[in-house]
């Protein structure tokens, strides 16, 4: 991983003095809460139906007063962080050397909508004095900082569907520079309100049959979901010294922009291809080193085709096996990249790729090796996880097995 890039990109940049390990994974999703339930859920060949997280009980993590003062997206982030820290095991760290980077696409939309209705029906005097902290996008990262007493950098990324990935990238760079020893990083979203749903339906982005089937010839749009994931990132030697289990090492990353359209990807996925190339170069690798791609794969006609074209552009006709966990989950918007990164790290640990749920017949215009029907064993090696968001925001992370 490079900390600075020269005129030719990462190749002539300055090498980071520290390596970054993933030591804890927490996930809150419609197919399962907790790392193991999440992995088992995305390993299914078929997942349909409601993508709300119906079994989420915030009282497991928050008292009644805290529940009233935190939006659902924030509750997901707190739960995922607690799960990730429990997974990482106990450690002591200087609070000044620990921080938080948490992404979201929208923030506290449910709270905002509820209070707008309340103001309209009963007057301004009935609006909650906690509305602002309920709805603000940075509430998720701020809540984690205060909960654990972490006094290092505490920031939020709001880059649509790439927000979680960008948060992890920023957190990894923070550790790689020596600024922090520990970072909580990820993304969370709870935007399944009637208004948001109507907006996506009216822009014809949603599936008419409520089935997410990335890269399938019959895909007709995405299915909205909610949830998020948080990773515990540690400086590698710090993690080794305490005997931590290490899922993977973040070897490289990249972020760029399509500079093309507010919702549509750049033609032929040129921005996505550029992002993947930069991430692989940042890791000091060649495209042929990558053994698996965790795709953005939203199940929309344009996104899946353009991403497949980007993959062919980078990897050639012999591209590594590719999966999209959005077949199982649906699209968690600002939480999607973090869930994808969690899946990529677990792929390295488990040694097999979860299938792209619901995809039965890969689109003949998509010339990549999409993993479908059942999990597939792989030779463990470097993997890349992609996120591409509305507005042309692109992010890619390269992970490698632990040393």
- Tell me the catalytic residues: 161, 296, 331
Residue 270 tokens read as 């040129």
Is 264:388 a contact under the CB 8 Å cutoff? no
- Tokens representing 159 are 């880059």
Which single residue is written with the structure tokens 């990558």? 290
Radius of gyration of the chain (CA): 20
Report H helices in 123-193: 131-135, 139-148, 163-176
Q: How many CA atoms lie within 13 A of 386 on its CB side?
A: 32
Give the position of tokens 């940042």.
282
Tell me how far CA of residue 253 lies from CA of 13, 33, 128, 201, in angstroms.
Answer: 13, 27, 41, 33
Q: Mapping DSSP to helix (H, G, I), strand (E, B) and coil, where does residue 102 land?
A: strand
| d(C-alpha 157, C-alpha 222), whole Å | 23
Residue spans of alpha helices (H) in 283-350 = 301-315, 326-329, 336-350
């Amino acid at each position: 991983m490079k900390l600075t890039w020269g005129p030719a990109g990462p190749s002539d940049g300055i090498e980071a003095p520290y390596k970054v390990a993933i030591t804890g994974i927490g996930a809150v999703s419609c197919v399962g809460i907790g790392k193991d339930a999440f992995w088992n859920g995305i390993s299914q060949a078929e997942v349909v139906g409601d993508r709300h997280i119906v079994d989420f009980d915030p009282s497991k993590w928050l008292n009644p007063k805290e529940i009233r003062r935190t939006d659902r997206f924030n509750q997901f982030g707190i739960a995922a962080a607690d799960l990730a820290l429990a997974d990482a095991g106990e450690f002591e760290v200087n609070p000044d050397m620990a921080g938080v980077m948490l992404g979201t696409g929208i923030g506290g939309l449910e709270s905002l909508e509820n209070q707008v209705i309340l103001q309209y029906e009963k007057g301004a005097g009935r609006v909650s004095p906690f509305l602002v902290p309920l709805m603000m996008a940075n509430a998720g990262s701020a809540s984690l900082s205060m909960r654990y007493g972490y006094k290092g950098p505490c920031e939020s990324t709001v880059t649509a569907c790439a927000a979680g990935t960008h948060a992890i990238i920023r957190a990894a760079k923070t550790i790689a520079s020596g600024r922090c020893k520990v970072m909580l990083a990820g993304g969370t979203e709870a935007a399944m309100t009637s208004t948001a749903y109507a907006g996506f339906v009216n822009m014809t982005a949603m599936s008419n049959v409520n089935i997410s089937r990335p890269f399938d010839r019959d895909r007709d749009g995405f299915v909205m979901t909610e949830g998020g994931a948080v990773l515990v990132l540690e400086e590698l030697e710090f993690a080794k010294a305490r005997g931590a289990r290490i899922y993977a090492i973040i070897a490289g990353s990249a972020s760029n922009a399509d500079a093309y359209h507010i919702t549509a990807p750049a033609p032929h996925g040129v921005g996505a291809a550029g992002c993947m190339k930069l991430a692989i170069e940042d890791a000091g690798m060649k495209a042929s080193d990558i053994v698996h791609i965790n795709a953005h794969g939203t199940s929309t006609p344009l996104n899946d085709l353009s991403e497949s074209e980007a993959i062919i552009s980078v990897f050639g006709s012999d591209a590594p096996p590719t999966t999209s966990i959005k077949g199982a989950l649906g699209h968690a918007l600002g939480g999607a990249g973090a869930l994808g990164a969690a899946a990529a790290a677990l792929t390295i640990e488990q040694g097999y790729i979860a299938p792209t749920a619901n995809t039965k017949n890969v689109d003949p215009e998509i010339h990549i090796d999409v993993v479908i029907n059942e999990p597939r064993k792989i030779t463990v090696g470097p993997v890349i996880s992609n996120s591409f968001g509305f507005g042309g925001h692109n992010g890619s992370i390269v992970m490698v097995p632990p040393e």
